[in-house]
Amino acid sequence: MTSTQQVDQVNAGGKAMRMSARRRHSEAALAYLLLAPSAVIIGGFGFYPLLAAVHISLRDWGIVAGPFIGLANYARALQDSPEFWRSLAITLYYVAGTVPITIALAYLFADLLHRRLAAAAFYRSLFFIPYVVSPVAAAAVWSWIFNKDFGLANGVLSWVGIAPFGWLEEPRGVFEVMGEHLGWAIPDWAGGPSLALVCMITVAVWHSLGFAVVVLLAGMAAIPEEVLEAARLDGARGWALLRRVKVPLLSPTLFFLLIVFVIRTFQTFTQIYVLSVDHRGGPLGSTRNVTMYLYAKFWDAHRIGYASAVAVILFLIILALTLLQFRVLGRRVHYG
């Protein structure tokens, strides 16, 4: 090879490297350009409101901006406000009642639909319809169903000779109310969440069930049939098949649903606002979760700085629970 040919090869190699670097830069620029709208939206509607809430929470902000008071609003919420702790307890009742029941029922129905039943497509659509219904419209319909004077729920009970319930107007614990109808004396500490809150949990399960069913059906469709057949040949049946084969293979889907539903139920507002008798978490504050408590302090009391502190506390609680779930349950998720 002559020296001229060697020089030509070096020049060609350098030119190819420059073109490759130029292409990488242009592709990176295009990627950033395509990501820019999403980044602006996330920053404008996600990070900026969070930073603004933190800023406002550090001030004595009422109708107008007030002086800087540091962490005083947080101290009031955590130390001097039994009402806040009660709203947090109601929120935990709501989450604990909604999330496990929704996922358990969704698995049951998804498993039935996955067995190639007749008209399975129709039933899938039927389950999913409630999820696409407006939460306000759905809550309005359920408020009519649970109306104590002319609602469908008490109408059905009257047909079978059972005394009517107050439903959404009943602030007493559900076990206390049931005990009264059965003639049992239930102490106040064992009353449980209010009957009104249990009605709202029922509505939340009904509204979220379709989404969970569809997601679990997609997860079940990804399980190789050969794996299930091999497990059955090894003698796995019923509970053993569920516990040792299906749940591990569905663990990413179940974990996803758990994370999504915990976050969503902690943030629930619309449904409780529409269903509560006074639109403020009634009766007697028995359905006032943290978001309703925040709303009341913001709009009714005009304590905007304090309400912002409550919002930041709620965000930190959700963040801590999410990280805890990833820490404790994430290691048990099977992604194979």
The mean of the pLDDT values for the chain is: 85
Contacts 24+ apart (CB under 8 A), 303-306: 303/62, 304/56, 304/61, 304/62, 304/63, 305/56, 305/57, 305/58, 305/59, 305/60, 305/61, 305/62, 305/66, 305/69, 305/73, 306/57, 306/73, 306/76, 306/77
With H, G, I as helix, E, B as strand and everything else as coil, classify residue 173: strand
Residue-wise pLDDT tens digits, 165-193: 889 999 988 888 888 877 888 887 788 89
With H, G, I as helix, E, B as strand and everything else as coil, classify residue 68: strand
Which residues of the chain fall short of a pLDDT of 70?
1-21, 116-118, 334-336
Residue 47 vs residues 40, 42, 122, 126, 304: alpha-carbon distances, Å: 10, 7, 41, 38, 19
Q: What's the pLDDT at 21?
A: 64
Does this model's pTM top 0.75? My answer is yes
In whole angstroms, give the CA distance from residue 267 to residue 59: 24
Q: What's the pLDDT at 191?
A: 84
Residue-wise pLDDT tens digits, 199-230: 999 999 999 999 999 999 988 888 888 877 88
In whole angstroms, give the CA distance from residue 32 to residue 13: 29
Contact 246, 136 (CB under 8 A): no
Q: Which of 78, 72, 48, 76 is nearest to 60 (CA)?
A: 72
Fold of 79-332: MetI-like fold (1.10.3720)
In whole angstroms, give the CA distance from residue 253 to residue 243: 15
In whole angstroms, give the CA distance from residue 315 to residue 77: 14
Give the start-to-end residue ranges of the domains of the chain.
Answer: 1-57, 79-332
